[in-house]
A and B are shown apart, each in its own frame.
Chain A
Amino acid sequence: MPKVIVEVSPKPEILDPQGKAVKAALIRLGYTGIDDVRQGKRFELTLDHPPADADLELITQAAITLLSNPVIEDVVAIRVEDGTE
């Protein structure tokens, strides 16, 4: 079935304590050259029908209403993934 992927990331100006912790761990493990880590969220919405424009509009609305909080997060991507192998 087709999936709509919604990706949410902390706003650039908002400190990301989780990303900072991950970066510190990466450096401890010897992964060099990493300047910054931001940790976001990825939602996979599996539809029971191929998404039309109206579906994507609704999902865009849902993305800013529930899936993200626009005060601290940006919806950085909404894209359709074809579920066929």
Chain B
Amino acid sequence: MIRIGVVTFPGTLDDRDALRAVRLAGAEGVPLWHAEADLRGVDAVVLPGGFSYGDYLRAGAIARFAPVMGSIVDAARGGMPVLGICNGFQLLTESHLLPGAMIKNDHRTFICRDQELVVESTKTAWSNGFGANERIVIPLKNQDGQFVADERTLDELEDSGRVVFRYAGWNPNGSRRDIAGITNAAGNVVGLMPHPEHAVEAGFGPDTPAGPRSGLDGLTFFTSVVAWLGRVGSAGSPGSSGSLSSTVPAGTPTSPTPPTSPAAPTPHAQQ
């Protein structure tokens, strides 16, 4: 069975929901602890939402240096799927796995709502189960959710098809170009502010025309990665039909042990 790790930091809120989402998608959820570098042989990792260490400095700024993050950054550079949700997205930008940064919402208040998104890339590990330009609704809850990056970086993201999710109907936080979620060049690392793990089970998701709390759009994130890993496992070449670019080394990573890619830090490589 595919094993998906979910990291808990002091201050993480949504680790239990993420583990549940992983199980509902048919994979085994593996709890990971921030202070341990061991990834316990997982095939993918979810960095869930919450407030890692209180986010005293900036969201994710201190958590980025946790022992588990070193292993995750190495494994992600080797092609392991990583999904960062909300605080996890902030962590991915602080770790330079994804470009840009999150600042306080333009309206300066915490916001919690069911948010409509357009899926603009179905070529990532975490979005390949959606239809092109499919509209989905999942919960959004944050105060520091305004995605910012310089114009050059934004153009690059757009031109290379790396905007995965865009806010539809209304931009809830002032994010540049309505961007809700992005991916890296290889398509294995995805970060977004809204919370797919809260829309995976009937009775607990957003309201839909089909009935109250019936929204299950979040589940597709997790079934997508299970499908992606299945393809990797059988074909040995994750990039053959799914990946965004030819920069994915052939035969990238499915081994249970994280690939030992060079640990040399490349700060701000993507900015």
Contact = CB atoms under 8 A, between A and B. Distances in A.
Nearest to A70: B268
Interface residues of B, number: 24
A52 B271 CA distance: 32
Contacts of B54: none
Contacts of A13: 150
A14 B103 contact: yes
A22 B141 CA distance: 24
Interface residues of A, number: 15
B97 to A, nearest CB: 13
Interface in B215-271: 267-268, 271
Interface string A63-75: 0011101111000
A71 B106 contact: no
A17 interface: yes
Binding site of B, secondary structure by majority: helix, strand, loop or mixed? Answer: loop
Contact of B103 (A15, A21, A67, A70): A15
Interface of A: 10, 13-15, 17-18, 20-21, 65-67, 69-72
B148 A14 contact: yes
Given A17-B105, A17-B108, A21-B108, A72 B148 contact: yes
B174 interface: yes
Interface stretch (B27-35, B57-65, B194-202): B57-65
